[in-house]
Structures are given as structure tokens and as C-alpha cells.
């Protein structure tokens, strides 16, 4: 499979180049040159397949022969070695828990896969690779954990000072070894912008092999499509339309869902559920895309004012808002609606949602009120204990803390503090190499 930049559709690159570059030299995001359709009988047998088996079947289409089949199999097995429960909360209402990986957020799926893929290419090309990642909270820790102590790889995390939860900060800054955390005096968008400037800087590119682990990297995007296929296989819906509500920020998760649909996953509708950082739902409403500065909310991993995967969404829908509307509905919720949803769902089902999942739940409920024939699934992208301060205030009950999160709390913060200034970052990076 070859990959192209959305800005230059006729020049194709190989997997290794797309993954190592992260973003194309022209500043565009990579897309696969085709989205192979799963065979018609796939879903018949998939009902009895494990997630790892399904992931391997799909990923072969994209990654073999660039990766030898046995290497891919090992990568899939090591990356996806945790649970993936689908829980029925009510009739035709499900929550798909994507947070059972080591850092308790759905980003573990993609980060673990990408780490192993890159480590293979680093070894093959005998280069040290530097991973630069801007994070609004969860990406950084998933990436750091995925890459921790992987040979030939250095990880640099940029996170916005004071804008991540205390636990998230511990997860970001408590790593040592090959991971450096940089606390930036600015917003997540500033961090993302600094990362983009770094990737496009000639001098830095000459000194080091830099790549991105944000969802702009195709190796992070594609693995997220696997669980949508698995979801459809588990549900085995016949002639009942399925709607999936996706709590969205940079829109990697939702873009991966659309890719799964193009592969043949029977998903009728997606809901792009956002907090007040709602530029995509607004685009669906008005046809105008107006990025803006992000606003802080309690679902902070979705505080994105200029979602990087939007260009991929446009590409998938030929720049046509009508086509996008046929598949995707937008929904926008405030923090107070999110808190009410957490309380209501806890009282009604004794189920504890985190603020991100709660936004998705709200989007789903709003849709199903009007379209009752649908079976609805919302994605729960983080363990509620990651946001226990907020959640406990609302449900007035302690949130059980998984051991793997407790361990982070005991670590010490190690971070480099920098202003929101590209030259400062550049000088810092130059001193590292
Ligand atoms: C990153 C993240 C999101 C947003 O996912 P995108 O792919 O960026 O849209 C939602 N929830 C949680 C918990 C996250 O960490």
C-alpha cells in the first residue's frame, strides 16, 4: 500500500516514509491510496474472532508486504493485549470501553501500535528517531508509555502548562529514560503549532530524524479503525441501523471510524460529539470551517480549536459538506450538561462515565430521541479515574482507581519549562543532539 499527501494526490510514498515523516514535506497529512473493502463474508466469521485476529486481518491489507507478515502479527499481538468490553446499558444502548490499556485512554491502541512499527523501521534503517508529540493530556502519556525504553527512539512531549489534570501531568512527566516532557506556557493549539513548525524546520530536520506521534501520523490513525470493525462483529446487527457517537477533539477517532465504514463496517451514522470546541459540528451546520483558539473544558482532551484530521475528513468526503452530512451529525455540549449526564447515568445505571464519554453519551441520546430505530453505541475513551476530581464532585462517590493509575501518582514530576516561542524550543532541541 502506498500513501499520498492530501495536498498532492499524485505523488505516492511507501509506508516507511509516511510513518517516519509523520506529516508530508508539503505540510499535508497522509492518506492510504486505497481503503480495501473487507470480503462480503467477513462479518459472518468475524463474530467469533478475537480483536487481535480482526486487527491482524485488516492491517495486512495496509501494511504487508512493507512489514513482513510475522512482524505485523507480533506487533498486533503486543499492542492490543488488553480488554475491550462492550457493555449494554439499556435496550439498544451500549458503551464501548476503549480505556483498558496501560494509560487508561483509548490512545493506547494507536500509540502502542505506532511505537512498535517505528521501532521496526528505526532498526531497519539504523537511525535514531525522535518522536515529537503535542498533547492536550492523554496522547502524551499513551505515547510515552508506548515508547518507554524502546531502543533507537527518543520521545519529546509538549504539553500546555496548567491545562492538563494533575494525574495526567504525573503521567506525562513521571517518565524518565528516553522521554522528555516540555511544559509550554501556552494552550494545546500553541503546542500543536510549535510541533508543526519543528517538523517544517530545515535545520532541525537535517540534525535529527523527527517524526510525529500525533494523530496526524498515519500509523496512529489506521489502528483506530480496527475496533470499529470489531464492534460491528460483536453486535451482529441484522437490518438494524447502527449509530456510533464519538467524543471528538482532533477527529482522529472519528476519521478512523469513517475509514472502517469504507472498509465495509455496517455503521449507518456517526455523531461528532464535541464540547464547546465545536468547529466541526458548526461546519456540518453551516458549511463553513472556522478554526479558532481552543477553550478549556472538563473534557480537556477534546479542547481543540483547529482539528488536525479535518483535512482528512474533507478528503474522504470530496470537500462536499452534503456528503459528509449523510454520514455524520454534529452535537455540542457544555460542561454543565456534561456534569448532569455523568450524574444521571450514575443514578440510573450505576455506571461511571468520564467527561469525554459523557459528551459522547449526550450526543447519542439526543440522536436516538429522534431516530428510535437505531442501535446506539457511544465510545468511552478514558477511565473515569483519570478525571476523578471532576467526576467525584458530580457523583459524590469515590471512583475506584486502577492500580496502573495509582502507580503514576507516586512518581515525581520532571519537566522542562519553555515559553510559547519556537526559537526557544529550537535551541533546546539543538542542544539535545
Ligand atoms: C484524545 C481524546 C479524545 C479525542 O480524540 P480525537 O481522536 O482527537 O478526536 C477523546 N477522549 C479522550 C479521553 C482523549 O484522550
pLDDT tens digits, residue range 314-338? 999 999 999 999 999 999 999 999 9
Q: How far is CA 50 from CA 96, 157, 160, 256, in A?
A: 15, 33, 38, 20
Protein residues whose CB sits closer than 6 Å to any atom of ligand 1 = 105, 107, 138, 215, 247-253, 301-302, 356, 381-382
139, 214, 250, 299, best to mutate for ligand 1 pocket (most atoms within 8 Å of CB): 250
**Ligand 1 atom nearest 247 alpha carbon:** 10
* pLDDT tens digits, one per residue of 122-162: 899 888 899 999 987 778 888 888 888 777 889 999 999 99
3-state SS class at 238: coil
Residue owning the nearest CA to atom 2 of ligand 1: 301
Tell me, in angstroms, the distance from the centre of ligand 1 to residue 168's CA: 14
3-state SS class at 242: strand
- Identify the H or E element spanning 16: helix 15-21
**Smallest Cα–Cα separation from 98: which of 298, 111, 169?**
111
H helices within 126-247, ranges in order? Answer: 138-147, 166-173, 188-200, 202-207, 218-221, 223-235
Strand order in the sheet with 93-97: 86-90, 93-97, 375-380, 242-247, 269-274, 328-332
Tell me, in angstroms, the distance from the centre of ligand 1 to residue 107's CA: 7
CATH for 84-103+219-403? 3.40.50.1100
Report the alpha-carbon distance of residue 65 to residue 430 in Å, rounded. 36
**Smallest Cα–Cα separation from 300: which of 189, 420, 144?**
189
Question: Do residues 268 and 374 make contact, with C-beta atoms less than 8 angstroms apart?
Answer: yes
pLDDT of residue 34: 96
3-state SS class at 415: coil
Question: Do residues 79 and 223 make contact, with C-beta atoms less than 8 angstroms apart?
Answer: yes
Question: Do residues 258 and 270 make contact, with C-beta atoms less than 8 angstroms apart?
Answer: yes
Report the alpha-carbon distance of residue 274 to residue 71 in Å, rounded. 37
State the cell numbers at 198.
519543528
Report the alpha-carbon distance of residue 416 to residue 173 in Å, rounded. 9
**Ligand 1 atom nearest 142 alpha carbon:** 15
Tell me, in angstroms, the distance from the centre of ligand 1 to residue 381's CA: 7
> Is the entire prediction scored with pTM above 0.85?
yes
105, 110, 140, 228, best to mutate for ligand 1 pocket (most atoms within 8 Å of CB): 105
Checking DSSP bridges between strand 328-332 and strand 30-32, what pairing results, if any? unpaired
User: Which residue has 477533539 as its cell numbers?
Assistant: 249
Tell me, in angstroms, the distance from the centre of ligand 1 to residue 133's CA: 14
- Identify the H or E element spanning 260: helix 252-263
Tell me, in angstroms, the distance from the centre of ligand 1 to residue 94's CA: 19
State the cell numbers at 156.
519529546
Cis peptide before 65 (omega within 30 of 0): yes
Strand order in the sheet with 209-212: 209-212, 129-134, 153-160, 179-185, 416-419
Give buried/exposed letters for 194-226 (b at 16+ CB in 10 A, else e): bbbebbebeebeeebbbbbbbbbbbbbbbbbbb
Q: How many helices (H) and strands (E) does the chain have?
A: 20, 14
**Ligand 1 atom nearest 356 alpha carbon:** 11
Report the alpha-carbon distance of residue 401 to residue 151 in Å, rounded. 31
Tell me, in angstroms, the distance from the centre of ligand 1 to residue 318's CA: 24
* pLDDT tens digits, one per residue of 386-423: 999 999 999 999 999 999 999 888 888 999 999 999 99
What distance lies between CA 57 and its chain's CA centroid? 21
Residue owning the nearest CA to atom 8 of ligand 1: 250
**What are the sequence ranges of the domains in the chain?**
84-103+219-403
Contacts with 68 (C-beta within 8 Å, 6 or more apart), sequence order? none
Per-residue pLDDT in tens (0 to 9) along the chain, 433 residues: 999 999 998 889 999 999 988 888 888 999 999 999 999 889 889 999 999 999 999 999 999 999 999 999 999 999 999 999 999 999 999 999 999 999 999 999 999 999 999 989 989 988 889 999 998 777 888 888 888 877 788 999 999 999 888 888 998 998 878 999 999 999 988 998 999 899 889 999 899 888 888 778 999 999 999 999 999 999 988 889 999 999 999 999 999 999 999 999 999 999 999 999 999 999 999 999 999 998 989 999 899 999 999 999 999 999 999 999 999 999 999 999 999 999 999 999 999 999 999 999 999 999 999 999 999 999 999 999 999 999 999 999 999 999 999 988 888 899 999 999 999 999 999 998 7
Amino acid at each position: 500500500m502506498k500513501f499520498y499527501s492530501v495536498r498532492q494526490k499524485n505523488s505516492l510514498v511507501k509506508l516507511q516514509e509516511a510513518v517516519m515523516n509523520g506529516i508530508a514535506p508539503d505540510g499535508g497529512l497522509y492518506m492510504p491510496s486505497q481503503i480495501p473493502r473487507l470480503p462480503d463474508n467477513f462479518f459472518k466469521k468475524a463474530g467469533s474472532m478475537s480483536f487481535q485476529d480482526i486487527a491482524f486481518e485488516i492491517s495486512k491489507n495496509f501494511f504487508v508486504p512493507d512489514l513482513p507478515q510475522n512482524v505485523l502479527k507480533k506487533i498486533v499481538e503486543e499492542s492490543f493485549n488488553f480488554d475491550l468490553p462492550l457493555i449494554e446499558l439499556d435496550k439498544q444502548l451500549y458503551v464501548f470501553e476503549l480505556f483498558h490499556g496501560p494509560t487508561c485512554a483509548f490512545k493506547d491502541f494507536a500509540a502502542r501500535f505506532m511505537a512498535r512499527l517505528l521501532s521496526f523501521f528505526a532498526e531497519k534503517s539504523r537511525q535514531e528517531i525522535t518522536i515529537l508529540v503535542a498533547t492536550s493530556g492523554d496522547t502524551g502519556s499513551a505515547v510515552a508509555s508506548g515508547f518507554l525504553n524502546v531502543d533507537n527512539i527518543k520521545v519529546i512531549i509538549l504539553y500546555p502548562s496548567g491545562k492538563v489534570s494533575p494525574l495526567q501531568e504525573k503521567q506525562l512527566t513521571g517518565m524518565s529514560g528516553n522521554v522528555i516532557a516540555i511544559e509550554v506556557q501556552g494552550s494545546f493549539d500553541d503546542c500543536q503549532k510549535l510541533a508543526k513548525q519543528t517538523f517544517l524546520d530545515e535545520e532541525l530536520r537535517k540534525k535529527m530524524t523527527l517524526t510525529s506521534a500525533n494523530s496526524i501520523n498515519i500509523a496512529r490513525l489506521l489502528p483506530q479503525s480496527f475496533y470499529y470493525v470489531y464492534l460491528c462483529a460483536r453486535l451482529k446487527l441484522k437490518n438494524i441501523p447502527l449509530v456510533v457517537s464519538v467524543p471528538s477533539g482532533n477527529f482522529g477517532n472519528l476519521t478512523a471510524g469513517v475509514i472502517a465504514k469504507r472498509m465495509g463496517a455496517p455503521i449507518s451514522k456517526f455523531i461528532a460529539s464535541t464540547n464547546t470546541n465545536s468547529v466541526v459540528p458548526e461546519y456540518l451546520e453551516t458549511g463553513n470551517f472556522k478554526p479558532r483558539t481552543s477553550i478549556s473544558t472538563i473534557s480537556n482532551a477534546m479542547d481543540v480549536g483547529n482539528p488536525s484530521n479535518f483535512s482528512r475528513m474533507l478528503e474522504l468526503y470530496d470537500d462536499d459538506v452534503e456528503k459528509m452530512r449523510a454520514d455524520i451529525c454534529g452535537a455540542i455540549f457544555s460542561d454543565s450538561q456534561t456534569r448532569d449526564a455523568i450524574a444521571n447515568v450514575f443514578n440510573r445505571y450505576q455506571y461511571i462515565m468520564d467527561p469525554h464519554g459523557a459528551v459522547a453519551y449526550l450526543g447519542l441520546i439526543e440522536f436516538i430521541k429522534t431516530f428510535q430505530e437505531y442501535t446506539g453505541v457511544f465510545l468511552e475513551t478514558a477511565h473515569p479515574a483519570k478525571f476523578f476530581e471532576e467526576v467525584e464532585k458530580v457523583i459524590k462517590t469515590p471512583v475506584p482507581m486502577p492500580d496502573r493509575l495509582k502507580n503514576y501518582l507516586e512518581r515525581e514530576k520532571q519537566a522542562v519549562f519553555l515559553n510559547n516561542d519556537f526559537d526557544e524550543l529550537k535551541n533546546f532541541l539543538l542542544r539535545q543532539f
